[in-house]
Amino acid sequence: MRLCSACSAEHQADALSRGVDSQRYAELFRSESREQLSAINRALLELEAAPEGREPVHVLFRAVHSLKGMSATMGYAAVAAFAHELETLLERLRTGDQVISAELMDALFAAADVLEGGIDRAVDGAGDPPRLTEVLEQLRHVAGGRSTPEFRAKTDEFSNAAGGFPGESAGTPAAAPNLDEGPGVLVRVRQRPDTMLPGVRAFLVIQKARGLGDVVAVSPQLSELQAAEVPQAFAFRLVTAMSVSDIESAIIATGDVEHVEVSAGRGRQRSAVQMSTGEEAAPVSKGARHVRIELARLDTLMNLIGELVINRGRLMQLTAGNGDPALDEVMTQTARLVGSLQSEIMASRMVPVWQVFDRFPRLVRDAARQLHKEIEFQVEGKEIELDRSLLDEIGEPVVHLLRNAVDHGIEAPEVREAHGKPRTGHLTLTASRERSAVLVRVRDDGRGIDRSRVLSRAQELGMVGGDVTQLDDEMLFRVIASAGFSTAVVVSDLSGRGVGIDAVQARVRQLGGVVELESVPGEGTTITLRLPQTLAIVRAVLAQVGGERYALPLTHVRETLAWSDGAVQHVQGREVLVLRDEVLPLMHLRQVLRAPGEDDPETADIIVLERGNRRAGLVVDELTGQQDIVVKQFDAVRDGLALFSGATILADGRPALIVDVGSLL
């Protein structure tokens, strides 16, 4: 180990400012350091939960050390010096010279905050953060030790931290089994973006592979894969004597395969083929290198591809009846290329939710401490992916829901005990996929919403008739989510939630999602945000009513069926749909829209809509197909348009309105 006593922050900064335009790297530095800060916060939470753990200390040490190196490289001397002090203290923790106390934990949390603030200010060129010295003193005081004024960075690690910095971010946490090593060959498959019943198609691929040899591992797991509602990329290991090209053609023959790649894993014996389009094969491997791209650039790409998708549709219609085989061939290839381009661009925008969720444990901890609550917070489904812009948008509503749960949902420890509940409340944030929707759910085991108080308040405000004696979940939600109600009630006066739900609801609806609420008195409250996976392009069923076409996003469509007299029955004078052993209410889109004409049972189709556990049948004149539609939001939702969430342009260039299914159910 060589000590580099010359590596003072100033020295480094001098060295760098001569050769490198540091402003160019400032944003890069900011995002890199976010990752380190988030690792620090995670490790601190772990350490607080289990003070005897060694691993969090190592993680902390490494992250702080990297931050020190990065800041020094950028010439942010104050931040680097602070990180250095922190590192010195952590070193003492690591060697066991320092014991962890509650006081020390608080000081460490404060230090993490100061570090974050310091980095932001340094990048913005705003100077040193005000509390730097104060927190430093506190740290020194708590640690009871003296700090060393010079940097004792190890040369090798130091240069590593600096050298690796414009580069590769770590991959997402592995949720699936590691297929990189093992017997046989690694087969990676990507499905076409327009794959129907993709889960079943994937299952067919695995079935086929089993006919070729032994399938020893599948990622994601078969059960998960088989239930997939959106086209996927998946991989498995296959032990077989067959040649690479035979395996590839067999897999392609199962249909809807956009790309298949057979390799030994870890980059040996690579081979890739692309389906019949002559595209350059671009295998995406797990250990791929990463490049950072400005979000605005991705947005532009997204807009462009949206327009291109519309044009593809138009072009296909225009060339359809042409009868020129050469033109048809070029058209088919172009259409497929546009499809691949679209799925690649969409994929490049998808990020795992942990990128935003990772800061929540800290937030919940702080809120709980402030309010003297004891709360165990869990985050599930961190690896679920969402469009970047959507993820950014839901951060704030989720923070709101979490704060509400800590503040008004979960009771104080004494109150919980008095009610025979465990002192520690449970708060869970879950992300999961359901069909093409992503669900974000905040669940607490607190007191639930006091329905009678909400009811009487709602009656006072004239929102609910005086004859109503009980509010079900849906009415309850409608009441507390209305703007008038929220602002009219002092939150702390209401045992339950209230404030801001209207804002959450407005934001989520704007994103094309819906909010659902369940609350059981004494047992807790669950709020679910049901979101589309991406904002701009969604898959939709197209239906025709009264000569006009409407698009219904697949997010809410469970299945479709033709009208039959057996399925449509009358129960107590009401028309219902009997589907297997379920009885569902039936609506006519024509009546909902007050469109002219009459439904013709001979040709009508029924779309089964689903939102949470509410289902209903929707009668339309005709189903005209499924299509990716490019959502164009209205500038503002006007009263008459409450039924629609936006509009789109169909393949023939005509517009269609997008039905807001959430408002129908």
Q: Give the binding site for another protein (CB under 8 A).
A: 196-197, 199-200, 203-204, 207, 226-227, 229, 253-255, 554, 557-562, 605, 608, 623-626
Tokens describing residue 39: 């690792």
CA distance 539 to 197: 13
Least Å from the CB of residue 201 to another protein = 8
Our CB check for another protein shows the closer of 531 and 608 to be: 608
Our CB check for another protein shows the closer of 425 and 532 to be: 532
Instruction: Transcribe 258-295 into DSSP letters.
Output: EEEEEE-STTSS--EEE-SS-PPP----TT-------H
Least Å from the CB of residue 518 to another protein = 23
Our CB check for another protein shows the closer of 249 and 510 to be: 249
Least Å from the CB of residue 254 to another protein = 8
* Residue type present at position 598: E
Element (H, E) at 633: none
Classify residue 277 as exposed, middle or buried by CB count within 10 Å of its CB (0-12, 13-18, 19+).
middle
Our CB check for another protein shows the closer of 148 and 569 to be: 569
Our CB check for another protein shows the closer of 142 and 203 to be: 203
Strand order in the sheet with 614-620: 557-562, 605-611, 614-620, 582-588, 574-579, 568-571
Our CB check for another protein shows the closer of 205 and 364 to be: 205
Nearest to 610 by CA among 538, 557, 561: 557
Virtual CA dihedral for 6, 12, 13, 18, nearest 10 degrees? 110
Least Å from the CB of residue 601 to another protein = 15
Q: Any idea how long the chain is?
A: 665
CB of 605 closer than 8 Å to CB of 567: no
Least Å from the CB of residue 198 to another protein = 9
Our CB check for another protein shows the closer of 66 and 195 to be: 195
Least Å from the CB of residue 226 to another protein = 6
SS3 119: helix
Our CB check for another protein shows the closer of 184 and 255 to be: 255
Nearest to 643 by CA among 625, 622, 618: 618
For residue 220, whether the previous peptide bond is cis, meaning omega lies within 30 degrees of 0, is yes
Least Å from the CB of residue 626 to another protein = 7
Tokens describing residue 437: 């929707």
Least Å from the CB of residue 562 to another protein = 7
Our CB check for another protein shows the closer of 418 and 562 to be: 562
State whether the Cα torsion 377-381-382-384 is positive or negative.
negative
SS3 540: strand
CB of 26 closer than 8 Å to CB of 123: yes
Our CB check for another protein shows the closer of 570 and 580 to be: 580
Our CB check for another protein shows the closer of 605 and 660 to be: 605
Query: CA angle at residue 24 from 23 to 28, to 5 degrees?
Result: 100
CA distance 525 to 518: 6
Q: Give, in order, the Cα–Cα distances in Å from 665 to each of 105, 254, 330, 511, 570.
A: 49, 38, 44, 18, 20
Our CB check for another protein shows the closer of 17 and 569 to be: 569
CA distance 211 to 205: 10
Nearest to 233 by CA among 267, 291, 193: 193
